[in-house]
């Protein structure tokens, strides 16, 4: 659920602590779960999201079983292979960020846009996503030293062996992501953001990195995860309370409905 640049912003924050990682492999790993090749209307992906995000059919990202990925693909991965290990750790971080997005941001955004959801149902998410991806584009525009420009835009996809994200699909999606952010459609980015603003996004990035570091610390010290589905279950619930309104710039949602 997190945007691609959001994932890279979290990755960049994590790399301030995880300085031993292969930066390129870690960056691509943080995008890898979204490497399913979409159909024309982006409703079906190959490989499907159930595979890349460890879901059962019909489940949302709040049900991602990130610890299943950890047990199967990361727990016993040799740290001596820096590229493979960094890539898989990035993949794990992506899954955690998606769960955190649904837990910390979605409830408040949906509550604030209640009128919009009443009027449009699930189509309302596409209105909210305008804020999400315009924040991405503004960040990319303003941060030429960011992980996107310094790594994703310049470096080839690393050679890794993770079978749930086939290389052909990964290369296809990375090409799309590079073009999406390098050649954006003309749009006004210095505007009011009614549903999610930069302050809320930056807060989410910082907290996500903090939580992921704590989860990894516990996993690295041998915490028992039997019967657990997500690393978030290792974190005290009060630290994971949904962000409280306002998450955006406070423009009336009735106006947003009319202008959408």
Residue pLDDT, tens place only, 178-207 = 999 999 999 999 999 999 999 999 999 999
* 23 in a structural domain: yes
What pLDDT is stored for residue 60 in this prediction?
84
**30: exposed, middle or buried (Cβ count in 10 Å: 0-12, 13-18, 19+):** buried
* 192 in a structural domain: no
Rounded-to-integer distance, Cα 146 and Cα 158, Å: 19
* 165 in a structural domain: yes
| Phi, psi angle pair for 223, to nearest 5° | -60, 140
* 20 in a structural domain: yes
What pLDDT is stored for residue 252 in this prediction?
47
* 166 in a structural domain: yes
* 248 in a structural domain: no
How many helices and strands, by DSSP H and E, does the chain display? 12, 2
What pLDDT is stored for residue 258 in this prediction?
41
Rounded-to-integer distance, Cα 86 and Cα 11, Å: 11
What pLDDT is stored for residue 251 in this prediction?
53
What pLDDT is stored for residue 85 in this prediction?
98
* 29 in a structural domain: yes
Q: Which domain holds residue 90?
A: 4-109+138-187+205-241
Q: How many domains does the chain have?
A: 1
What averages of pLDDT result for each successive group of 10 residues across the chain (260 residues)? 96 98 98 87 84 89 95 96 98 98 96 93 93 98 98 96 90 95 94 97 99 98 96 97 93 46
Q: Which residue has the tokens 């952010």?
A: 181
* 39 in a structural domain: yes
């Amino acid at each position: 659920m997190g945007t691609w640049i959001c994932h890279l912003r979290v990755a960049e924050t994590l790399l301030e602590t995880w300085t031993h990682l292969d930066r390129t492999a870690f960056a691509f790993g943080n995008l890898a779960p979204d490497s399913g090749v979409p159909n024309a209307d982006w409703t079906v992906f190959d490989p499907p999201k159930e595979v890349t995000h460890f879901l059962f059919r019909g489940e949302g990202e709040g049900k991602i079983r990130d610890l299943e990925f950890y047990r199967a693909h990361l727990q016993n991965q040799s740290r001596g292979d820096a590229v493979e290990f960094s890539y898989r750790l990035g993949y794990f971080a992506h899954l955690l960020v998606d769960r955190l997005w649904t837990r910390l941001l979605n409830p408040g955004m949906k509550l604030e846009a209640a009128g919009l959801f009443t009027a449009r149902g699930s189509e309302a998410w596409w209105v909210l996503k305008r804020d999400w991806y315009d924040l991405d584009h503004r960040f990319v525009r303003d941060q030429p030293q960011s992980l996107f420009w310094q790594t994703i835009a310049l470096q080839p996809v690393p050679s890794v062996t993770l079978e749930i994200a086939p290389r052909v699909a990964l290369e296809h999606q990375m090409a799309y992501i590079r073009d999406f952010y390098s050649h954006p459609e003309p749009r006004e980015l210095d505007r009011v953001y009614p549903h999610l603003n930069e302050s809320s996004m930056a807060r989410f990035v910082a907290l996500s990195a903090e939580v992921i570091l704590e989860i990894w610390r516990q996993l690295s010290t041998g915490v028992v995860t039997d019967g657990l589905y997500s690393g978030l279950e290792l974190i005290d619930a009060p630290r994971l309370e949904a962000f409280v309104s306002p998450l955006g710039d406070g423009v009336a949602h009735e106006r947003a409905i009319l202008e959408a």
